[in-house]
Amino acid sequence: MPQDTNDVPGVSGDTDERLQRYLARCGVASRRSSEAIILALRVTVNGKTVTVLGTKVAAGDTVCLDGKEIRPEETKRYVALNKPAGHVCSLSDEKGRPVAAELLAKRYTERLYNVGRLDMYSSGLIIFTNDGNFAAKVAHPSSQIEKEYIVETSLPFSPRLPEQFAKGVRVEGVFYRAETVERLSSRRLRIVLMEGKNREIRRVFEHFNAPIKQLCRVRIGSILLKDLPEGESRDLTRAEVEGLLGGED
């Protein structure tokens, strides 16, 4: 819903970059999350609060978030975190719950934000970055990047669950289908998703009356969780970053 932004200082017709993209390059958040930040009236350009999307930023403009000037990060970071259950994937939480990004604060001075999400009760692999272009490409469904999960239920699940999830199942009007579903035991499965809709696994398991005891993501594309301790992080290698950008698994 872009609107005319000629009344905002520094964002007339000769500007060069959309504000949400600039925020992403500064490591504030992904482009999509940056749009919400802009609409929350938290961003100013040359001292004036931005109220509309479509605003652009020119070289030499002063951009502030919550009153503090921000600039693009010089060092690009690509980080794998083993998120513990109980942490939320957001930049802050109004309920005071632990935030996953806080686990990176001691190692990294840059603003880092998560690419994709894991819900509060799930654990495992999640990627953080301050590279907006990388985040946009990796998060987009067209990237076709697999995500692999190990799921443990508190009770034996129905034998129908693996077969139906692999074929596709409709829950409350939404169609869910896993790429692969492998039964490991009467209470454990290995599931691979491609797109990964919001809370997809949990909603399918609820549909089959299979309460989840533990849900852990162990792979994103070619990136493996392996033996990374819970709550710890590591830098991705150049090959791992290039593999994600290339959609390799």
Q: Which residues are tagged catalytic?
A: 119
- 228, 80 Cβ separation under 8 angstroms: yes
DSSP string, the chain: -----TTSTT-STT--EEHHHHHHHTTS--HHHHHHHHHTT-EEETTEE--STT-EE-TT--EEETTEE----SS--EEEEEEPTT-BSSS--TT---BGGGGGTTT--S--EEES---TT-EEEEEEES-HHHHHHHHSGGG---EEEEEEESSPPPTHHHHHHHH-EEETTEEE--SEEEE-SSSEEEEEESS--TTHHHHHHHHTT--EEEEEEEEETTEE-TTPPTT-EEEPPHHHHHHHHTT--
Cα–Cα distance, 29 to 218 (Å, whole number): 24
Nearest in space to 135 (alpha carbons), one of 163, 155, 115: 115
Cα–Cα distance, 140 to 159 (Å, whole number): 33
